[in-house]
Structure 1
Amino acid sequence: MASRLCFNIGFLIVASVGLLHGAYAANTYTVGGDLGWIIPPNSSYYEEWTSQSTFQIGDSFVFNWTTGTHTATEVSTKEEYDNCTKMGIILKDAGVKVTFKDNATHYFLCSEGTHCEQGQKMVIKIGDGIPPSFAAPSLTAVAAALSALFFSTLAIFFLN
């Protein structure tokens, strides 16, 4: 009986830690911080801004600008990004919020005039930046499974 009690308590601790680990809170970032999404003061500004954080699945990015005409254009490849190719998914309104739901690398640039060539572009890596080669379970599904396991063990514990 004592060994079963120790096993159940140990299992409850492990399950609780798993539930807490799955409770990741997504963050919302204003692209460029206080500067926002404008032609930057130097060509490495947005690279430096993204290097200050590690972005995760579920994080959101708000593209804000208060002056001038800008876009947030997502291009498909690094080559398009490097060459400031201005064809892609275009977000034209300031305050647009983009949320990423998987590990990947996203390339954004401004497609107005020569803004991209002047440094208004950035790379956002979510997680390790590499898309999964299989369909990974969502954090919600994992938390639900652990929760069910937790309550099942709790019921077994009290019924014995």
Structure 2
Amino acid sequence: MAIPYKASSPLFLCLILSCGDSLVNCSEFEVGGHDGWVVPKPKDDDQMYNQWASQNRFKVNDTLLFKYERDSVMVVTEEEYEKCKASRPLFFSNNGDTVFKFDRPGLFYFISGVSGHCDRGQRMIIKVLDVEPAAPPPQSANEDAQKPPHKKNGVAEMIPMSIITTSTLFVLSTFVLQLYA
């Protein structure tokens, strides 16, 4: 028997939350939007891709999706980026549907591997942020002693989302699925 769902149902919410670790920790960005990874048209600014990149925030584990035809994507050094030439790119793909995952913070330099495309603006610099989890403010021993326990009338208060793991969400969603079965 299929279980019907609505976007507002608890079942749907639990399914989304069970994927929470993936949803919260990374994003996929489609380079160039619906046009894809193409040579900018003469009327467009040759900084089109850098302008796009500056309007987004990238972090480790985010991915870029490059869609293109008869072209390629290369990750190169800063020097190769400036020259629009790479004899030994750090990354190369020409499959028309390239996904590139950021594995570290810092600067990434992308260019087209087709001769002349980079010179006409098909290149981009992306800064990947070094995001560290926010640490709670330091507390003295007196503050800890004065804190009330996290229970009211013997029932635990809400659990902060920062300590809920994917496995916990999976168990919760499995429980909810059993309720609807």
What TM-score comes out, normalization by structure 2 length?
A: 0.55
Q: Structure 1: which 4+ aligned runs deviate by more than 6 Å?
A: none
1:83-94 equivalences under 5 Å are 83-87=83-87, 88=89, 89-94=91-96
For 2:66, the equivalent position in structure 1 comes to 63
- Shift of residue 24, structure 1, vs aligned partner: 2.9
For 1:17, the equivalent position in structure 2 comes to none
Q: What residue ranges of structure 1 are gaps of 5+ in the alignment?
A: 1-19, 138-145, 149-160
For 2:154, the equivalent position in structure 1 comes to none
Q: Which structure is larger by alpha-carbon Rg, 1 or 2?
A: 2
1:33–1:49 Cα contact (<8 Å) kept:
no
What TM-score comes out, normalization by structure 1 length?
A: 0.62
2:50–2:126 Cα contact (<8 Å) kept:
no
1:112 & 1:29 partners in 2: Cα distance? 22
1:9-88 equivalences under 5 Å are 24-41=24-41, 42-66=45-69, 69-75=70-76, 77-87=77-87, 88=89
- Shift of residue 111, structure 1, vs aligned partner: 1.5
1:119-138 equivalences under 5 Å are 119-127=121-129
- Shift of residue 101, structure 1, vs aligned partner: 2.2
RMSD between superposed Cα atoms in Å = 3.0
1:44 & 1:34 partners in 2: Cα distance? 18
2:67–2:97 Cα contact (<8 Å) kept:
yes
Q: What residue ranges of structure 2 are gaps of 5+ in the alignment?
A: 1-19, 134-162, 166-181
Q: Percent identity?
A: 28
2:48 & 2:107 partners in 1: Cα distance? 18
